Chain A
Amino acid sequence: MTSLTIAMVGSGGTGVVALGEMLLRAAAKQGLYGMLRKTFGPQIRGGESAAIVRLGSEVVANLSSDIELLLVLDWKNFQRFADEIPFTESTILVQDLQAGERPPNLPEPNTCLTLDFLGLAKAMGSSHSNLTMLGYVVNWLGFPQNAVVSAIRHRLQKHPQNTIELAIAVAQQGAELLRDNPIPLEAPLASSDRLENLWLASGNQLIGLGALEAGVRFVAAYPITPASDVLEWIAGEIESVGGHLLQAEDELAAVNMAIGASFGGVPAMTATSGPGMALMSEAMGLAVASETPLVVVDVMRGGPSTGIPTKSEQVDFNLAVYGLHGDAPHVVLGALSVADCHFTAGWATEIASERQTLVVVLSDQFLGQSSQIMPALETTGFGARLDQTEVSQTSQEGSSVETPPDQQRQQRYFRYLDTDSGISPLALPGQPGGMFTADGLEHNAAAVPSPKAADHEQQLAKRLRKLDSLVDSDHWAELHGQGSVLLICWGSLYQVSLEAQTLLRGKGIEIVVMGLRLLSPLPIQNIQQAMQHATQTLVIEQNQQGQFAHYLRSFDLGNLNFKQYCRPGPTLFTPREIVGQVETLISSAGANK
């Protein structure tokens, strides 16, 4: 078996998420690949929670369509997760003796093991049935005891030694249960030769790593689900590289603090989710107009308004691309996998500094809060280039600068010089001869406020022009496979689409998967070229209105056309769902002939 999915459910506080985390870490210790998705209700404790762990002998970058094994500590509130846990009669059910009554409308499982996990733990003076269950499952997976011991030690590292010892003993008791109660399923095989080079990371942590490695040294933070752990990871690391994280009073402050730091020449970012980015959008326009580098990360959650804070949805595309007032050209990137959060955050940092503008990075709750075992990531090589530039000494023809007779300042330095690339020489505070006032008011090339038509046109044009060459970057998309059907997606749907591609290949259908990383400015020529090579194109996204598809249609596609499949969250796209859509697409084309 190449992969195996284990779901765990229980009411909040039963330790389901801890069980998932320990299971994943034990698997990583054994050289298995895997992924953990935590899913919560809106309450932090006392509500409901579930964890889904998918393990495999090859890299696992998304969840599967199926659940092979369901572990139930407690049936209470299971219904709230029923959408996310596709339970069928072939799912093997392992439940605690005291899990309560199974909800009536579930299919009857072919295999159901009811074991006294809680009783066993209680007999040892513990109340943690998740530990007995951990020992049981890890034993079935064939991991040696040290894998579970190290996972427990890591999880309980801040607890006293006797707590840790007890936890290990409880897990050991759980392991004993397997002898008389085997699970009739094949476990994925671990490989021991990659032990040294595996990482365990979430997308939110990797956003932080990518940004800090690329040179971000100031982060302003306002807590919001599901982006807080980007900020928390950075808070733990940024001082060690000489930077600062400042907790702001609100998102309005956070984004403006980042702009202030960046004006001082220190690469800066903030991270938030939809509601926070809506509040930030005014100042994001300021970053564009004042040409101050800025990275804003949006870990998307269900919307609109407060929406579904703990679930994933690709709903902020419109806000990211169209959400600024005025003509405010900026860059929007989308991370394509948990691992790609690292790459995309690094690239965003570099673009923002190089082009002196705003870069929005779209991630989502799935990428951000799922933990994945992955091959250790190489450094991206991206770096903020915000060093002081030699400021121009020449005056600008055609500019409306009025130079006061007794002042030489405007003659010496044109902060917003209209250059071929649109990028102007940037002076930083502390640099003699470069004094200027950065401004959100429209200004002329010398940074003096100006409402004149010629200045407005010049500055608008340069701010747009400086993004032009981005579409030539090799990083605009990931393209995978060859075939007559082109599947275009972005964000967390890319990895699901790749698995769908593999499933389709098994059915004799070859498709090309295009995962777009550069969403704005859109590399439309590259997309058109790929569409020309395809007989059919399908655009998929996880939102109700087809936000990206509408955007794509706003470009001149000539006689090229595409079909779209979009639906809202909070349930994740599954590979099988995409397979179904591609098959429908192909058969409808056949019917039209």
Chain B
Amino acid sequence: MTALTPCGDWRASYAADTTIFPTRNSRIALLLGIAILCCAPLVFGRYELSLLINIGFLGIAALGLNILVGFTGQISIGHAAFFGLGAFVSAYLHERYHVPVLLCIPIAGVVTALIGLVFGAPAARLKGLYLAIATLAAQFILEDFFARAQWFTGGVSGRMTESPVLFGFALDRDETYFYLTLVWVIIMFVGAANLMRSRDGRALVAVRDHYLSAEMMGINLAYYRTLSFGIASLYAGIGGALYAHYLLFVSVEAFNILFSIQFLGMVIIGGLGSVMGSLMGAAFMVMLPEVTQWGADLLAGSSIDRALKLGASISFLREMVVGAAIILFLIFEPDGLARRWRLIKAYWKLYPYSH
């Protein structure tokens, strides 16, 4: 079910066994997909591009959380704080030390990963609910730090930052920033897919599936649990840095616990333990408010609006739809969009003999 390889396609080498895209068609589809995305700025307006950019940086951060939650079986409800840390580190490095923005982004990722290792230390010993509470502490400690560290974050009034510059050419428009985000999305997603077929990636999955068996097989639990935190923070940091240089304004307000929960929502809706699912979950979370807004606009002033006397409450309707969609997902598609996508692919592949 998982790969749907044609009958008679044997794997004769390790390379064939661990390949990410098992069939020729899937490789062609991937390259075609990237090529189409590269043309997006020619077709789409700034609004559509800004949605795609949002999906990009949120998807990177969601992927980090998916490595932690979906692949390692840990939990974190402080992901937004690490996302914020990446944003602030990048903005700070650029302003204080005039490091070029393009360099700031990976450095922010590494710094966030290091801090993430520190906060991930409790994960070496804690599981489940206790770990959730420990990461909640990370969320509050970092949030409070952002609000107070004037030198670093500009305090509660936030920090302005600048667009990246490449060879004197400022990437300050959506059309250009889109490419930067796309490059990072490709790097980070390929990186994650590669990680998952490496020795370390398999160890993470083993820790998730049964920690006791994993330990008996010689996997160092404390090491891999903490490592998973570090990787998740690396992704959050890079996503945050991309966010910072896109919005050009970073404020502590954005990185609250609700945002952390939203990341968890993306991972669950996208599909726990699926690399592509993280991107789908992010896309869903970005698009849902837009779609419901569109629906609310249609409804506003219509006969339904008048009949039910909705008026100003229409905007609350939108918030409720977001909540309802998440609940419906958990009930009807707990394995997320990634599974649904696989089912759709299978349907067409096996047509008309699927059942």
A and B: interacting chains: no
Chain A residues at the B interface, C-beta cutoff of 8 Å: none
Chain B residues at the A interface, C-beta cutoff of 8 Å: none
